[in-house]
A and B are shown apart, each in its own frame.
Chain A
Amino acid sequence: MEENEEGKIVKHEEEDEEGREQEIWSWGAGTDGQLGTGKLQDELLPQLLHLTSLSSAGPISFLACGGAHVLALTSGGKVLTWGRGTAGQLGHSDTVNSPHPKLVMSLNNYFITHVSAGWNHSGFVSDTGALFTCGDGTFGQLGHGDYRLHCYPVKVSFFASKHVEQIACGMRHSLVLLRGDEVYGFGSGKRGQLGIAKDKINLVSLPERSCGFEGVKIASITANGDHSAALSADGHLYTWGRGFGDTLSAKTPQHLPTSFCFTKIALGWNHALVLTGGEVFMFGGNHHGVLSNPDKMTPVKHSADSRADSRAVVLEKVPGLEGSRTLHIAAGAEHSAIVTENGVLKTWGWGEHGQLGLGNISDQTSPQEVSLSHKFRKEASLIEIYCGSGFTIAIRTSCRPSQAG
C-alpha cells in the first residue's frame, strides 16, 4: 500500500494488470532447503510453494538452479535466493542454508537482468552490464583473481569497462558473454571447459577470453558439470570441456557440424538436450540422464565427418514426444525435463530423490508426464521448467478466467 497525492490509501492488486497469477512448484532432493518449502526433506511429488516473500517481491521472470541452491530473478530486477548457503552462494553475507526465499539485499541498488547458479557459486548481471559473483571460489570460479569464498555478491572488476550480458556457472568454472560477442572463462579448466587455450589449463582466477568465436554472433552460453556450450544467433551449437559419452574432452569450442538450427541447449553432468524446430535431441553416455535403451532410440548421426572420429557427437531423438512441439527444455545433473506447447510437463532420467516428480524414486528411460494440480484450465497456463542437480522447479503462470461485466 502507498499514499497517493490526495493522501488516500491505494491498495495494490496481488496479480498484475493482465490478471496473471504465478505458481511455483518444486520437487526432488531437498535436504539443503533447495525446494524452498521450508522443510529439509526430499519431495517425490510437486509441492506448491506458499511464500509471502515471493509474492511480495513480484512475479519471478527467471530461475537458476545450482547444486543445491536457487536464484530467482523478479521482473523488477530483484533477486531472491534459497537452499544451500554454506559457501556463501546465497549472497546473504553469511554461510548458512536458507529453507525460504530471501531477498539479496546487497543487490538492491541494481536492476539484475541475468543470473546463473553453479555447484556452489552464483553469478548476477545488472542492466548496466556489471557482473557480480559470490560463493565458493576455491577454483577461481568467481573471477576475482583469488581463490577465496565470497559470501555476498562482489563486482568482478575485470569487466569494469566492459558490458556483460550473460553468466553461466558450472561445477567449478564460469563463462561470461559480453555484448559484442566475446566469451570469457575462469575457474577450473582441467577438462578444457574454459575454452581459452589448446594447452593444458589447471586453474584460472581472472577471466580469459575463449577462442574460436571470431566473427560469430553468440546468442547464449551454458555451463554445467565440466561442460560448456554456446549457441550462435543463427542456431549453431558449440561445445567444449568434458566430452559426452565416449567423446574426448575439447579444450577449445567445437562447432557441431549439422544442418539443424538449434534454439536451446540444456547441459547435465553427462548429457545434453538440444531443441530444434520443436523437437528434442539428446547426446551423452551410459549414465542416468541418458536414454540408454537402444530399442527406443532413433540414432541420427549428424557428424559431417564420416570418419569414425572419436570427437563426433551423435544426436539421438528423444522418443515419446511425437505429436506435440516442445517449448522448453531443462537438464539436472542426471535428469531431464521438457514442456510441450500444450502445457504438458514431462521428465525422465535419474529419479532416486524424486526429482522426476512422479511420486516414486524410479529411474525413467523415456519422458513421463508430471501432473501439477490444476486450478485453472490447462490451456490458460504457461509452464517454464528449471532443473538443479537433483531437483526440479516449475513456474506456472495462469490467466485468471475473465470476470463477467
Chain B
Amino acid sequence: MEGLGQTLVCTGCSLLCDDIEYEMEDGVVSKLYHICMHGYDKVMFAFSPQRLKAPLLSSNGSFREVSLDEAISKAAEVLKSSKKPLLYGWSCATNEAIDLGLEIAKKLGGIFDGTMWICHGYSIYLAKKLGMGLPKLEEVLNNADHVVFWGANPGDNHLRHMSRYAVFPRGERVPRGIETRMLSAVDIRMTSTVKVAMNKLLINPGGDAELLSALISELEGKPIQREEVAGIPLKTFLEFVDVLKQRPYTAIFYGLGLTHSGKGKENVELFYRLVQLLNQNGKSCIAMPMAGHYNMVGAVIKSLDAGGGPFAIDFGEGGEVARRGESALDALLSWEYDSALIVGSDPLSSLPSEIAQRIRSIPTIVLDYRLSLTAKHADIVIPVAVPGVESGGHATRMDEEVVTLSPIGGLVGRFPSDEEVLDKLLKQL
C-alpha cells in the first residue's frame, strides 16, 4: 500500500491538525485516522464526483471545457483589460498563494480583500496594535489551568480543539488534564461546548459588553451592586470572577459570538482590556481568536504587512496603498472595481445580495476545487488542488504557527495548486 504510515496536515480548519495518518488503495485514500468529520469531508472531496476537473470558460450562458493554458491566458486578458480588479478570498489559500495575490494586486493597482473581515481580521489587528502576542497552542496545553471559550463553539466548529490542545491533554503544569483544568464557556445558548463546561455562563444576546465591563470593574476592585449580570445570576458571576482571580493561567478562546454580536468592535476592545488587566494582576492570561478557515490568520497577517489593515487594501497607481478599509462591506459596495479574481471563496453565497449582484455583473475568474455558486456564475473557472491533500505550501495556524503542508505523494500534480495558477497568471500580466 502506498503512503502507509505517513501523516498529512488537515486543512479543514485553522487548527491544521498535523497528525492525520492515512492509508491508500488504488490511488484513493481509503482510511484516515484521527481526523474529525469536517476534515474527513474536505480530504475526501478530492475524490468526489463533484470535484471540478477541467478548466471552464463560459460562453453564451454555458460552460465549455478548455485547457489550463487557455484558461490562464483568458484570465490574464480579463485582468489586463480591467481598470481595477478585485482580488478576493485568501483565507482558503496557502501563504505562497496570498503573496502572489498581493503581488498581482500591486502590479495591477487592484483591491486586495477577502473573508478576513467576516472572520477575525479586526481582532487580530487590534491585538497586534496593543502588542499582545499569541502563545503557541502547545503552551496552552502545558500551562493553562483555566480555559474559557467565549462566543466560540469548538464542539461544532473546531472539533479537535479541546482534545488536541486546549482541554483534555495532560500538560506539564496540568498533569491530570481535565481533572486539573477548569473549563468555562460564555455563550448566549446551550451549545455543545457550554454543555461540557464546568462554569456555564449563559448571557443575554448582546450581553458581552455588560459582562466584560462587570468583570473589569470587579478586577479593578470596584464590586458591582446588581442581582444579575447580562442575565447571569450574581452568584455564578462571582464564582467566575474567583476562578479568574485564583487560577494562575487563563487561556481565553473567543469566537464570532463575541466579535460579531452587539457592538462588535467595542466588545473586542473591552475584551482586550480584561486580558490586560488580568496580566497586570500577576496572572497569565492569553487570548486567541478561533479563526475559521484554514489560513485565515495567514491572510490577515499578510494583509497587515502589505497594507497596514487587515482587509480591503486598495493599491493605487504604482502599487501604493491608496486606501485601506475599515469596513470591507462598504468597500465592496462602493469601490470601483470592474473585474474579480476569486480564490477559494464563495462570495455569491456568503455576501449580501447587492454585492453578489455587483460581482455577477463583472467578469470573474474563480480558482476552486468545487463548483460553488460563485463558480457557477463565473466567466472562467480554474480547478485547483485540494490544499494539504493534493498540493503543499504553508499555512498559518490560529496561533500564528506556520505549518508546512504535507500532501499525499501520489496525488501531487493531479491538479495545479492555487499558487501555481497564480504564478502562471502573474507571469502573463
- Is the A/B pair a real complex? no
Q: Which residues of B contact A (CB under 8 A)?
A: none
Q: Which residues of A contact B (CB under 8 A)?
A: none
